Chains A and B, each alone.
Chain A
Amino acid sequence: MENGLIIELKGVSKSFAIGGGREFLALKGIDLEIHQGEFTGLVGPSGSGKTTLLNLMGALDNATEGSVRVLGRNVESFSHTEAAHFRKESIGFIFQSFNLLPVYTVFENVEFPLLVAGVAAEERKKTVTQALEWVGLLDKMYSRPTQLSGGESQRVAVARAIVKKPRIILADEPTANLDAENSHNILRTMVKLNQQLGTTFVFSTHDQKVIDYLRRKITLVDGRLFKDEALTPKLAGNDK
């Protein structure tokens, strides 16, 4: 990884079969580099390919053409099992609809990635407590997802994403189901994580509130990289 380059896409295209032998080209020849510690957003209207691109970076899907290198590894050559191991070790995900596991408590939800990674019980307890402290949810440790507000649920999802201290966190529309206040709370937490832990964040969003926090904005239109610009965040992690 040259100069902290952790995500590198070259000539990436992705198409989906849409029936009747036809195909929909979601991404067209994307070239992109993302470096360690970036706070980057993939911005664009619905159907522009943001989530598809995020899925490729997260080894959840394979490109039809081109190469996707994440943390120095060719993601598109992974088998299902290799991709799963890669995600387990290196990537944290935050989803639009939180995707918390409903029968688990907040603690168990956050503990889950560590359980899958085979971390010892003592270490798990310590790390989960730390992550919940980060997102300010220590008092909700034993609550179930159904007992949480939208903002709290998304903070649990953030804690779950950061608990294993991944190098990259991919967040797909993380504020789409949140009100303004909760959105700002979540984003401030992410900025703090980015600054203090050096975690790279890549967002897929069209929410202006998210864009206000970004340091780099990559605009996608119709599956093509339309604009790649550096930003000065209007809002910082500690700002109210």
Chain B
Amino acid sequence: MRTLLLLALKNVRGAGLRTWLNVATLSFGFVTIVWMQGIYEGMMRQMVTAQIDTEYGGGQFWHKAFDPFDPLSFEDAHGEPGDALKKLVAEKKATPILLRTGAIFPNGRAQSVVLRGIEPTQEIVQIPGGVLLREGEALPGLIGKRMAEATGLKKGDTVTIRWRDVSGTFDATDVEVVEVMNIAVPGLDAGQLWLPLRTLRRLIGSAEATTLFVTEKGYVESHIEDPNFVWKNNDFLLSEERAIFESKKAFGYILYVILMAMGLLAVFDTQVLSIFRRRREIGTLMALGVTRSEVVGLFTLEGSLHGVLALFAGALWGIPILAHAAKIGIGLPKMSDNMGIAIGARLYASYAPQVLVVTLCVLLCSVVVVSFLPARRIAKMRPTDAIRGKG
């Protein structure tokens, strides 16, 4: 094996430009694939972190009538919690959120919104609710940047809101935008107006109304039985985002296959050409006592060495690029908000060691297989033909 490796190294070195072209193509493929994996991994991680930090916490208790995809359900999806949930809130392990549909009238135009009541002093989710403690003539309201851009509202503006109370009666009042927050999760920003929980409860005429409870991060499911609320863990809550993410990732797989095919085709092509051009050499090796399987091994090893060299070359020029993507990140255009998942203004690549190891193993194994396939032909060559450059 050591002899074969030495010979393969000499041959690979001796092949000169052909070797470096293959190594360059493969290393480009390797680095791009790892970079892409890192971007997707980072995207997933940022999305999960943002969702947990700002919306899901350690899981939620939903009112049994609540359906996040049906705003009409919001009218009835609220109720009073049982003692266990109240205790959880009192212990600051959960915070209540109330959702109602309504409308706002910025610049004289009507626009549907979801009114979100939140406890201003809560620390469970990263919503700057503290700004809602301000007292003034108009009710204090908090919106996100996307909402501000869509409605033309800015900090200090007053806007009229309209809603229906629990009896179905319409009412309206003015809300002053006390802050425009920067929040990664589009679903908590676009079309959302945040109000103090107590205020929203007063507006709809139900002092204890809650649509859902967000528990603290790391909350251990305690199987609270409540007649009105049901437990939803993060696996369930994140399933929609994961599905969206997976559909985005499909494009990545296509690119992955294209890049791999490009690199592997280069190796395959070199192998086929090499075996054709080196038939006389193959015959000589056999005459000198190298067995057929050793010659197959030698050529496979030569092809595989391209992969190993590409790994080193890729590490040399790729690590700075990969590190840059992880530390400095990539600035995202505004339109990336339309992707439907929470990423933020910058995307930071993340390289999970397991994913990295598996990816590199898959890449290397593919190179070995692609090197071996053409080399199998050698086993069928007759030494007498090969010596004369035939066969």
State the CA gap A99–B386 with chains docked (Å): 11
Would B284 and A115 count as touching, CB distance under 8 A?
no
Knowing A60-B387, A81-B293, A99-B387, the reply to whether A93 touches B3 (Cβ < 8 A) is no
B290 touches A101 (CB 8 A): no
Is A89 part of the binding interface, using a Cβ–Cβ cutoff of 8 Å?
Answer: yes
Segment 78-117 of A: residues with Cβ below 8 Å from B: 80-81, 84-89, 93, 95, 97, 99, 101-104, 108, 112-113, 115-117
With both beta carbons as reference points, the residue of chain B lying nearest to A157 in the complex is identified as B284
Considering only residues 43-95 of chain A, those with a C-beta below 8 Å from chain B are 55, 58, 60-61, 80-81, 84-89, 93, 95
Residues of A within 8 A of B292 (CB): 80-81, 84
Residue of B nearest to A87 (CB): B289
Q: How far is the CB of A100 from chain B (nearest CB, A)?
A: 8
Shortest distance in angstroms between B258's beta carbon and chain A's nearest beta carbon? Answer: 33
Chain B 265-304 near chain A by CB (<8 Å), digits 1 or 0:
0000000000000001101111111111110000000000
Q: Most chain-A CB neighbours within 10 Å: which of B6, B280, B281, B288?
A: B288
Q: Check: A118 CB closer than 8 A to any chain B CB.
A: yes
Closest chain B residue to A85, Cβ basis: B289
Chain A contacts with B in 176-232, Cβ cutoff 8 A? none
CA distance A113 to B288 in the complex (A): 6
CA distance A101 to B3 in the complex (A): 15
Q: How far, in angstroms, from A101 to B284 measured CA to CA in the complex? A: 8
Distance of A115 Cα from B285 Cα, bound (Å) = 12
A113 and B286 form a contact (CB under 8 A)? no
CB of B15 within 8 A of CB of A88, answer no
Q: Which residue of A lies closest to B16 (CB)?
A: A103
List the B side residues contacting A97 at CB < 8 Å.
280
CA distance in complex: A84, B281 (Å): 15
Chain B's nearest CB lies how many Å from the CB of A104?
A: 6
Known: A108-B10, A116-B3, A118-B3. 16 other contacts (CB 8 A): A58-B287, A60-B383, A60-B387, A61-B382, A81-B292, A84-B290, A84-B294, A85-B291, A88-B288, A95-B287, A95-B387, A99-B284, A103-B10, A104-B10, A115-B6, A115-B7
Can you pick out 15 interface pairs between chain A and chain B where the beta carbons lie within 8 Å of each other? A60-B383, A60-B387, A80-B291, A80-B292, A84-B286, A84-B294, A86-B289, A88-B290, A89-B289, A99-B387, A103-B14, A112-B288, A113-B288, A113-B289, A116-B288
